[in-house]
Amino acid sequence: MPSPDRKISESTVRRLSAYLRSLEALEASGAEMASSGELARRAGTTAPQVRKDLSTFGSFGKRGLGYPVVPLIGSLEAILGLTREWRVALLGAGRVGAALHTYPFFRERGFRIVAIFDNDPEKVGLRWDDTTIRHIDELESVLAGEAVEIAILTVPAAPAPALADRVVRAGVGAILNFAPARLELPPHVVVNEVNLAMELELLSFALTRSEPR
Amino acid sequence: MPSPDRKISESTVRRLSAYLRSLEALEASGAEMASSGELARRAGTTAPQVRKDLSTFGSFGKRGLGYPVVPLIGSLEAILGLTREWRVALLGAGRVGAALHTYPFFRERGFRIVAIFDNDPEKVGLRWDDTTIRHIDELESVLAGEAVEIAILTVPAAPAPALADRVVRAGVGAILNFAPARLELPPHVVVNEVNLAMELELLSFALTRSEPR
């Protein structure tokens, strides 16, 4: 792998993730080799882009034969940091939190939810599988005790920035933010937003412009 | 507004959506004017970018004074297609579907869920608020009867592509896809993906590379 100071764009990582998904589908269908064209078609990009993206990280293909499916899955898992377990905290035990908690991908990929927080007294103390929902007042002690590395925020917009600050001060290095609030955090913290409002507005914008006027 | 053939990039629309959110927060705090610098800071971009994005759609600012908050909210709502109701169908009445169904943003912004589908006999016939869950076999007739314009897919990966094809053949023009499957649809269909696996992999990739090795 290149040195960590070599900048890889977010869109490159998104494509690597799509290649991994495509390779897994190919593996499930029994394929042993995948061409760059096939990966490109499944990931919605071009064959030269596939070859360029993968060559950034090593020599995985065989000229004229394509990429061996199983080894490339292993390489992409290593590149994407999926060969180890990540300790995850869920802040917010509402419906979005519940949906994420049962999302099978988490476990399959090694994202293990080790702590769940809420401020609703009716939720605190409940167990989701083998994790007890803790009060948000216990955030710092639980995050440290459980060695949490990634926090997922599924809280309302108003409390989100202050909770993100607390999470970062407690040593968490990455946040997946579902709250419709912008977080201003130190540059070493990795923040990724999932904004459902924005996703829907992209659709309504496109539909509005495509209609006859 | 420019003619519909003028191409506006997805990243521009995402910024417009962020400006709208920032303006609403400013309105809630009682502000009457917003500078491009303030909008830039809240949306995580630069003041020249804010001015450039907004000038694509009209002259909204007053030199030296900034942008009037309430009128610009109205303009952005019109640009993003939020001044009308959109008729939405939810395919998949699982946990993600349930979380989306109760998401207050939908109603506030005029996205009205008028149809819900599942193939689980225990769910078909149940009511979520005033919408009855219908069997997926009834997809075509219900989509046409309810004049659905946007479909949200919260089904597993395997059935997603075939369901998307059926939805498009039934005349739906936009799909928000939560299924971890790539949809290959005609170019006139607007498709937007929310891939939670990819979002988490962006975090694990960044954390892996930022660690000392």
Distance from CA of A8 to the nearest CA of B (A): 9
Do the Cβ atoms of A166 and A102 come closer than 8 Å?
no
Q: Shortest CA distance to B172 belongs to which of B125, B135, B139, B130?
A: B139
- Nearest CB to B202 within list A13, A105, A201: A13
ipTM score here?
0.87
Predicted TM-score (pTM) of this structure = 0.82
Alpha helices, DSSP H, located in chain A:
10-28, 36-43, 47-55, 69-79, 95-101, 104-108, 139-145, 160-169, 196-210
A residues 85..104 contacting B (CB < 8 A)? 86, 94-96, 98-100, 102-103
Residue B130: enclosing H or E segment and its boundaries?
Answer: none
Contact call for B82 and A202, based on CB within 8 A: no
Among candidates B81, B111, B197 on the partner chain, residue whose Cβ is nearest the Cβ of A109: B197
Structure tokens at A78: 């290593």
**Both tokens assigned to B67:** 């942008």
Nearest to B181 by CA among B169, B166, B164, B167: B164
Q: Which residue has the tokens 């419906």?
A: A95
Per-residue DSSP letter, A62 = B
One pLDDT digit (tens) per residue for chain B, 213 residues: 444 445 788 889 999 999 998 999 899 999 999 999 999 988 889 999 999 999 999 999 888 889 999 999 999 999 999 999 999 999 999 988 988 888 777 888 889 999 999 999 999 999 999 999 999 999 999 999 999 999 999 998 889 999 999 999 999 999 999 988 889 899 999 999 888 888 889 999 999 987 544
Task: Please name every residue paired with B204 in a beta bridge, in sequence order, or none if there are none.
Answer: none
Q: How near does any CA of chain B get to the CA of A155, in Å?
A: 12
Instruction: Measure Cα distances from A145 to A170, A196, B45, B158 in Å.
Output: 10, 32, 37, 39
Kindly list the strands in the beta sheet with A174-177, ordered across the sheet, starting from the edge strand earlier in the chain: A127-128, A131-135, A111-118, A86-91, A150-153, A174-177, A190-193
Size of interface A-B (CB pairs under 8 A): 184
pLDDT digit string, tens, across residues A25-47:
899 999 999 999 999 988 889 99
Q: Do A80 and B198 touch (CB under 8 A)?
A: no
Degrees to nearest 5, angle at CA B106 with B100 and B109 = 160
Alpha helices in chain B (DSSP H): 10-28, 36-43, 47-55, 69-79, 95-101, 104-108, 139-145, 160-169, 196-210
Residues 7-66 on A with a CB inside 8 Å of B are: 8, 10, 13-14, 16-18, 20-22, 42-44
Domains of chain B, start order: 10-79 (1.10.10.10), 86-198 (3.40.50.720)
Residues in A touching B203 (Cβ below 8 Å):
150, 174-176, 190, 192
pLDDT at B54: 96
- Closest residue by Cα to residue A152 from A202, A106, A205: A106
